[in-house]
Amino acid sequence: MIYVGRKPTMSYVLAVITSLTRSNAKEVTLKARGQAITTAVNVAEITRRRFMKELKVKTIDIGTEEMPPREGESRTRNVSTIEITLRR
């Protein structure tokens, strides 16, 4: 599982490529929350269009996670998530 956050998109692309080529794994899953959802989709698209053309999107799941309140607030927040599994 690769957690996609605020690093540059290309560092996650590299993580996907490394994960698939180093370990002989057939699959890798990207997981992201909130604004990083767009980054996760970009990572999947850039990896399979530019670098590993045989890569397929196996599954995409979306969900919601309850997050603790921000400092100074009292209510939990709901944040959307995405999980994209790529298979070669």
Instruction: Using the rule CB under 8 A, give the single segment among 18-26, 55-63, 67-75 that binds a second copy.
Output: 55-63
Q: % helix / strand / coil in the chain, to the nearest 5?
A: 35, 40, 30
Does residue number 16 form part of the binding site for a second copy (CB under 8 A)?
no
Does residue number 63 form part of the binding site for a second copy (CB under 8 A)?
yes
Does residue number 64 form part of the binding site for a second copy (CB under 8 A)?
yes
Handedness of CA 19, 21, 24, 28 (dihedral sign): positive
Q: Is 62 or 67 the residue whose CB approaches a second copy more closely?
A: 62
Handedness of CA 86, 2, 8, 41 (dihedral sign): positive
Pick one of 10, 25, 57, 67: the residue that binds a second copy (CB under 8 A).
57
Residue the block writes with tokens 């956050």? 5
Pick one of 18, 21, 35, 76: the residue that binds a second copy (CB under 8 A).
35
β-bridge partners, 46: none
Does residue number 13 form part of the binding site for a second copy (CB under 8 A)?
no
